[in-house]
């Protein structure tokens, strides 16, 4: 049972690594891109690295308090970055 859960996270990390590569490919095309490509790029940029870091931390051997980590790490990441990405999407 533990191994199935572990493999699920491994597959999610593989998908997130694919998103990193795909995001870099899209970034080179942003100069001549339309709104849909920009929207996809912003969407991937907002969540792929925080999700990768969160999953890596979840799989660490040290016991952690998830709600404490959300409060101390995720919320300070979202608060300053959300208006930035919102403004980038409007422009």
The predicted structure's pLDDT at residue 79? 81
Per-residue pLDDT of 25-51, as tens digits, reads: 877 777 566 777 777 788 888 888 788
Helix axes 2-29, 35-58, angle to 10 degrees: 150
Report the predicted TM-score, pTM, of the whole model to 2 decimal places.
Answer: 0.55
- Distance between CA 74 and CA 69 in Å, rounded? 7
The predicted structure's pLDDT at residue 32? 67
Token digits of residue 24: 């870099």
Token digits of residue 43: 């969407």
The parts of the chain modelled with pLDDT lower than 70 are 1-5, 31-33, 60-64, 89-91
């Amino acid at each position: 049972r533990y191994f199935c859960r572990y493999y699920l996270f491994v597959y999610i990390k593989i998908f997130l690594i694919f998103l990193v590569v795909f995001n870099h490919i899209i970034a080179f095309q942003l100069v001549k891109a339309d709104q849909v490509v920009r929207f996809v790029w912003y969407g991937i940029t907002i969540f792929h690295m925080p999700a990768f870091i969160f999953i890596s931390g979840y799989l660490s051997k040290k016991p952690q308090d998830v709600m404490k980590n959300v409060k101390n790490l995720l919320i300070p990441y979202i608060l300053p970055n959300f208006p930035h990405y919102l403004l980038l999407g409007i422009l």
